[in-house]
Amino acid sequence: MRIRDALALAQALGVARLDAQLLLAHRLGRSRAWLLAHDDDALGETDAAALRDGLRRRAAGEPLAYITCVAEFRGLALAVSPAVLIPRPETELLVEWALELQPAEAEVDVADLGTGSGAVALALQQARPRWRVTATDRSPQALAVARENAARHAPSLALAQGDWWGALVGRRFALVVSNPPYVAGDDPHLAALGHEPRAALTPEGDGLAALARIVAGAPAHLEAGGWLVLEHGHDQAEAVRACLVRSGFDATSTRSDLAGLPRCSAGCWRG
């Protein structure tokens, strides 16, 4: 099989040419530009077999990141597996807002609840080396992925297993962030996300249960003047802000992602 044959096979299977190129480039450790210049090169039997398998998986709807086991987030190449969500570009807003809320030179305690692959926590730790970031998740499989990523990108990142605040008993933080499951259990979009862990996508019901639990537990874990920043669904901003106000937060506000959709809300705990 030549490189051009591999791309022809992708077309026959209904796999987008870009996805096929990315699969092949990942397998060969080459760039897409190199592939274009070497489309007559022959593939070894092992590479050809692996590519056929990857193309069939992609044709069946499996996300590219799960096939290559790599996803990018804020310039970090992260290991991913079906135990964790694939990091989304819109989650970068959560990181950007959090970085504004504490001084870069401060030595503060920061937590990321439900870290999954560790994407948010690692982005914060890399951008703010003086911060003491702790990432939590209830899933040992997810924490194994986060631990692999931390070893590569930010060995100082602390990891703890537990359900939301359960991993942080007795601790207080200057800043807490979370991208919890928030999709409603009957949302039709879940059908297209069947390869990703359902528990990381939805708490079932109206999608607000995890957000509500995090907000309710936050006062016991935030320092006076500490901030809680949450990612949520595009139609949940009002409900999340109301929840924050009921729990005693002030300075509540919402920010929209690049698509113009309300994506994150935050509040300050005055203590």
Q: 58, exposed or middle or buried, with CB in 10 Å at 0-12, 13-18, 19+? A: buried
Domain count, the chain: 2
Based on the fold, state whether residues 90 and 30 are members of the same structural domain: no
Q: Are residues 55 and 149 in the same domain?
A: no
Query: Is the residue at 197 inside a domain?
Result: yes
pLDDT value at 36 more than 90: no
pLDDT at 6 over 90: no
Confirm whether 107 is domain-assigned. yes
| Statement to judge: residues 159 and 221 lie in one domain | yes
Tell whether 133 and 257 lie within a shared domain. yes
Domain that holds residue 91: 83-269
Query: What pLDDT, in 10s, does the model give residues 154-194?
Result: 999 999 999 999 999 999 999 999 999 999 999 998 998 99
Query: Do 156 and 242 share a domain, yes or no?
Result: yes
Locus of tokens 């099989």 = 1
Tell the burial category of 209 from Cβ atoms under 10 Å away from its Cβ (0-12, 13-18, 19+).
middle
- What does the pLDDT read at residue 42? 87
Same domain for 176 and 47: no
Question: Looking at the domain assignment, is residue 163 inside a domain?
Answer: yes
Q: What is the pLDDT of residue 180?
A: 97
- Are 27 and 129 part of one and the same domain? no
The larger pLDDT score, comparing residue 2 to residue 225, is at 225
Q: Is residue 255 part of a domain?
A: yes
Residue 16 domain-assigned (yes or no): yes
Residues 200, 129 share a domain: yes
Closest by CA to 62, choosing from 202, 193, 183, 199, is 193
Which of 219, 215, 227, 271 minimizes the C-alpha distance to 251?
227
Q: What is the pLDDT of residue 39?
A: 83
Mean predicted confidence (pLDDT) in 88-107 = 95
Q: Are 197 and 217 in contact (CB under 8 A)?
A: no
Residue 243 clears pLDDT 90, i.e. is over it: yes
Same domain, 91 and 50: no
Summarize pLDDT for 70-80 with one digit per residue, the tens: 999 999 999 99
Average pLDDT of the chain to the nearest whole number:
94
The β-bridge partners of 70 are 79
CATH number at residue 195: 3.40.50.150
71 lies in some domain:
no
Q: Are 151 and 177 in contact (CB under 8 A)?
A: no
Q: Are residues 132 and 261 in the same domain?
A: yes
Residue 132 covered by a domain: yes
133 and 46 within one domain:
no
Whether the per-residue pLDDT at 82 is higher than 90: the answer is yes
Report if residue 118 sits inside a domain: yes
Q: For 119, what's the count of Cα atoms within 13 Å in the CB-facing half-sphere? A: 28
HEC per residue, 247-261: CCCEEEEEEECCCCC
Q: Please state the pTM of the whole predicted model.
A: 0.92
Whether 48 and 93 map to the same domain: the answer is no
